[in-house]
Chains A and B, each alone.
Chain A
Amino acid sequence: MKNRITEILREIRSEFDFSTSSNFIEDGMLDSFDIVNLVTMLDEEFKISIEGTQIIPDNFVSVESICSLLSKYVKE
């Protein structure tokens, strides 16, 4: 799952190296529209619908936080 998340992040913002950041939001790598795109792509990739109330910046600060969010919907 982590690899696929990293690939999707690269598709959205190819200019950044996400492995160097501990907080994508504070480091300016993802803005609110990037999060909309990210959620749309994660929904499609994992055949889920992330709840609207879960679409808050704290859930998208790192690959780990995104994994933690997805674990509520996807069983690996």
Chain B
Amino acid sequence: MNLHFKNKKVTGILTVLPAHEVHFEDEMENYNSTIAKSLKLKAAMGFNKKRIVADGVTSADLCIAGLTHLFDNETLRMEDVDALIMVTQSPDYIMPPTSNVIQGYFGLKHDMICLDINQGCAGYIVGLIQAFMLLDQGAINKVVLMNADVLSPKVSKKDRNSNPLIGDGASITIVEKSTDNEEIFVSIKMNGEGAFALQIPAGGARLPSSPETAILKEDKNGNLRSENHLVMKGDEVFNFVQTEVPPLIEELYDYSKIGKDDVDFYMFHQPNKFMLNKLADRLGVERDKMPSNIVENFGNSSGVTIPLAITFNLGDKLCNQKYRLCLSGFGVGLTWAGMMIDMKDLSLCKIIYN
């Protein structure tokens, strides 16, 4: 599905990362693998260090820290927030929505919309689509998009498929109406037949958490995880990404009439360096135009990796220069999406640590 938006712009991006760092070597002995093999894997996948929250810190806590920063330094005024979107797979509660909890924490006005969206690796693009659609309404001038995931407690420390790469984080993106007439193009696809390639089996209504679901079981590769933990069918996900994402980006080139060389940077979701470099090679994109340095520095924080790639690699440059970006997210759902968007003159584009 192709979507087109006009008269909308991103005016600020803040990412919020936990202060606590964990190095790959710190956890290497948990895996059912030799040290030599783990170190080879580290090099190939780009594992190095990741940021994870302290016990008890939630997705909402990271977003509240970010919003407090924005309100305190007057980048954002509370009364201007017309919609609060929260994209997460790790909400604070099954009910109420985390966006409402955050609205209540700050005592924001009642004449606004709060909305939670359950999305993962493509959640930044899904959230932006939702923000743009809300901005078509006359009553809505400014949308605050929050992407946050705290999945480290949901990953078995003895699962080398997932534990080395999962990091926690949040981002806050301010989206507003614009008179610039610049266009935004999106291609997005979903395939629920692959929904269980990335899954946390227990904890919902289908399989409530219980002492039985907490029992660690060994898979064929020697990984230990329970049904309360995230399980990723790595081979299926890799093949899905390599098969589906390149044609989607080519479709986006056609739809937007923006060619490969017209893009300044490809800010893609970053599951691991190996997968991303293969995508870059397949698309014929120079690797320095598609940064792959998020997993090695911060871990894979799901829908946060795209805004984190922007703040980490471009940062202040986006406050006074214009860049044409091709964004792409792919994963949970299965969902895969691409977006052509120009960003310039942001009021802020940075990372804070909490």
Contacts and interface: CB of A to CB of B under 8 A. Distances in A.
Contacts, number: 50
Contacts of A57: 235
A52 B238 contact: yes
Interface stretch (A16-24, A33-41, A63-71): A33-41
B239 A33 contact: no
A37 B45 CA distance: 9
Contacts of A52: 238-239, 241-243, 275, 278-279, 282
A44 to B, nearest CB: 10
Nearest to A33: B41
Q: Which of B43, B44, B282 has the most CB atoms of chain A within a 10 A radius of its CB?
A: B44
A12 B34 CA distance: 11
Contact of A49 (B44, B221, B235, B278): B278
A34 B221 CA distance: 11
B77 interface: no
B37 A40 contact: no
Nearest to A14: B36
Nearest to B243: A53
Contacts of A36: 41, 44-45, 274
Contacts of A53: 239, 242-243, 282
Given A36-B41, A36-B45, A52-B282, A31 B238 contact: no
Q: Which of A51, A53, A57 has the most CB atoms of chain B within a 10 A radius of its CB?
A: A53
Contacts of B274: 36, 39-40
Contacts of A32: 221, 234-235
Given A36-B44, A49-B281, A56 B234 contact: no
Given A52-B241, A52-B242, A53-B243, A33 B235 contact: no
Interface in B44-71: 44-45
Contact of B44 (A37, A51, A56): A37
A57 B278 CA distance: 17
Contacts of B109: none
A74 interface: no
A55 interface: yes
B223 to A, nearest CB: 10
Nearest to B160: A33
Contacts of B281: 49, 51
Interface in B246-285: 274-275, 277-279, 281-282
B242 A40 contact: no
A49 B281 CA distance: 7
A55 B238 contact: yes
A31 B221 CA distance: 8
Interface of A: 12, 31-34, 36-37, 39-40, 49, 51-53, 55-57
Given A49-B277, A51-B281, A52-B282, 4 more contacts: A12-B40, A33-B33, A52-B278, A55-B238
